[in-house]
Copies of this chain bind each other. A is one copy, B any other.
Amino acid sequence: MEKIAQRARLASNALQCATNDHKNSALRAIYDQLVKDRVAILAENEKDLIANKDTLSQAIFNRLSLEKKFDEMLLGVLDVIKLDDPTAKCSLARKLDENLELYRVSCPVGVLLIIFEARPEVVVQISCLAIKSGNAVILKGGKEAHNSNVALFGTIYKALSSLDTSATSVIPPTSVNLVSSREDISTLLKLDKYIDLVIPRGSKSLVQHVQESTRIPVLGHADGICSVYVDELADAKKALSIVVDSKINYPAACNAAEKLLIHKKVAPTLLPLLATALFNKNVTLFADPEAFKLIEKNNLLKPALSDSFETEYLDLSLAVKVVDSLTEAVQHINEFGSHHTDSIVTEDKDRAEQFMKQVDSAGVFWNASTRFADGFRYGFGAEIGVSTNKTHARGPVGLEGIYGNGQAVGWYGKGGDENGKVFNFKHEDIPLEKVTKKFN
């Protein structure tokens, strides 16, 4: 295991010098090889499907099957090719003095460890995103997809090995690695010397386990407890479409709403309408006493339980609460939510802005469904995961570089240089559109 991590680290060092053309030619080769290996890959996938036919739920079984998703997976590779190079982007340029310039430039993170569950196409998705962003990657998939993962990894490895030397010297085939057992992961989680970032994609228990077992930074979120707050100044029609869509568009997603908070002034008129719309879509409501009184009795109406407002249902259930004020809604979301995505429905700009400033979540929406919280919908291309971390970089991490001309710090202070000339910092910002320097 340590050897794999070490190899990935070496590959990551080489990748620092890969240009966008290098990276795109590697992605193109992966695309071509996937097209060639299609039949063989699907045959391996079939083995997984047969082996797991009796033990997995229909939903997980569908996620495991590659046949219908193969074309989409191929298109995904082409999409990644089209993305801008995320590295070598300059976000700060400053003239510290004549011939002494500071640039902050994005660069790859290094070695990523990505742990995921059922869906085997993730092997391709993540490998392509890693290469495009100049990162080496170690993948660990679910055991139910073992044959599919090995086949897809084999195809990627073959593609990378087929590149010409100028490309393999900066994108070695060892840029992508696959490990398969739980024990491998325990070992890898200790190798903070080689691995820079862990991204667990999967169940809450997987994410929590990873967070508790490593000193490597973990990108991700354990819970997705999103709320829609319907304000006293909400437009009823918008409230209906946003609440219903946030809950039912794809209830198993982390960005689906699990809670509806509604202001007491509009609850008597609006809540019955919302409840009816939700009941029509087969949603069970767990209502607090105030809300319970306002909703007509129905099989799908239940009193809220003690943990209803801290539960990630991931199904057609929704906790409902009447609040006295915008402030109460914000406090409730900050205390019992998961800092993922929360939305306010209101026609009042000031109230929307107060909500957006005070709610401490990765995404705060005004008059839009929580389901929009997604890399594809944001136009970010594919998405590697949603993070609720507050202190990681979103996108490649910047690096400061100084381009000088032999300057010593000692010149900038009493005494000056060897001729006694004292230098002073200029600290002039260089407009980014005027930066002609190329960083790759």
User: Which residues of A line the B interface, CB within 8 A?
Assistant: 13, 16-17, 94, 96, 100, 102, 104, 107, 109-110, 196-197, 211-212, 215, 217, 219, 235, 237-238, 241-242, 244-246, 248-250, 330-331, 334, 345, 352, 354, 356-358, 360-369, 371-373, 377-379, 389-394, 397-412, 417-418, 425, 427, 440
Asked if A410 contacts B360 (CB within 8 A), the reply is: no
Query: Which of B17, B109, B245, B399 meets A409, CB within 8 Å?
Result: B245
The listed residue with most B CB atoms (<10 A of its CB), out of A212, A238, A379, A427, is A379
* Cross-chain contact A394 with B397 (CB below 8 angstroms): yes
Known interface pairs A242-B408, A409-B249; A357-B393 also in contact (CB < 8 Å) = no
Number of copies: 2
Q: A249-B408, A363-B399 are in contact. Are A16 and B211 (CB under 8 A)?
A: no
By a CB distance below 8 angstroms, the chain B residues around A369 are: 404, 407-410
Beyond the given pairs A17-B354, A197-B390, A363-B399, 18 more chain A to chain B contacts, judged by CB atoms under 8 angstroms and listed by A's residue number, are A94-B379, A102-B379, A107-B357, A217-B390, A237-B406, A241-B417, A245-B409, A249-B408, A361-B399, A362-B399, A363-B401, A364-B400, A367-B403, A367-B404, A368-B406, A372-B404, A390-B397, A392-B392
19 A–B contacts, CB within 8 A, in A order: A17-B354, A94-B378, A96-B377, A211-B215, A241-B418, A242-B407, A245-B408, A245-B410, A362-B399, A365-B403, A365-B404, A367-B406, A367-B407, A368-B407, A372-B407, A379-B427, A390-B397, A391-B397, A393-B393
The chain B residue sitting closest to A440, CB to CB, is B357
Residues in B whose Cβ lies below 8 Å from that of A367:
403-407
Query: Which residue of the partner chain, among B211, B242, B391, B399, contacts A196 with CB atoms under 8 Å?
Result: B391
- Report the minimal beta-carbon distance from A413 to chain B, rounded to whole angstroms: 9
Chain B residues contacting A366 (CB-CB under 8 Å) are 401-404
In Å, the complex CA distance between A212 and B391 comes to 18
> Does the CB pair B249–A391 fall under 8 Å?
no
Q: Which of A102, A334, A398, A409 has the most CB of B within 10 A?
A: A409
Distance (whole angstroms) from the CB of A89 to the closest CB of chain B: 12
A368 engages B402 (CB within 8 Å): yes
Residue of B nearest to A134 (CB): B357
Of B244, B393, B411, which contacts A391 at CB under 8 A?
B393
Which residues from chain B contact A238 at a C-beta distance below 8 Å? 405-406
- Given A365-B404, A409-B249, A410-B245, answer yes or no on A96-B397 (Cβ-Cβ < 8 Å): no
Report which residue of A330, A402, A407 has the largest number of chain B beta carbons within 10 angstroms of its beta carbon: A402
The distance in angstroms between the C-alpha atoms of A104 and B109, with both chains bound, is 21
Complex Cα gap A211–B215 (Å):
8
Contact B403–A368 (Cβ < 8 Å): yes
What residues of chain B lie closer than 8 Å to A371, measured between beta carbons?
Answer: 408-409
Distance between A104 CB and nearest chain B CB, rounded to angstroms: 8
Q: How far apart are A226's CB and chain B's nearest CB, in angstroms?
A: 12
Out of B110, B211, B212, B242, which one reaches A406, CB within 8 Å?
B242
CB distance from A370 to the nearest CB of B (A): 9
- For residue A392, which residues in chain B have a CB less than 8 angstroms away from its CB? 217, 391-393, 397
Q: Which of A212, A365, A427 has the most CB of B within 10 A?
A: A365
Closest to A386 in B: B400
Q: Which residues of B contact A399 (CB under 8 A)?
A: 361-364
* Complex: chain B residue closest to A361, CB-CB: B399
Out of B249, B334, B363, B391, name the residue touching A109 (CB < 8 Å). B391
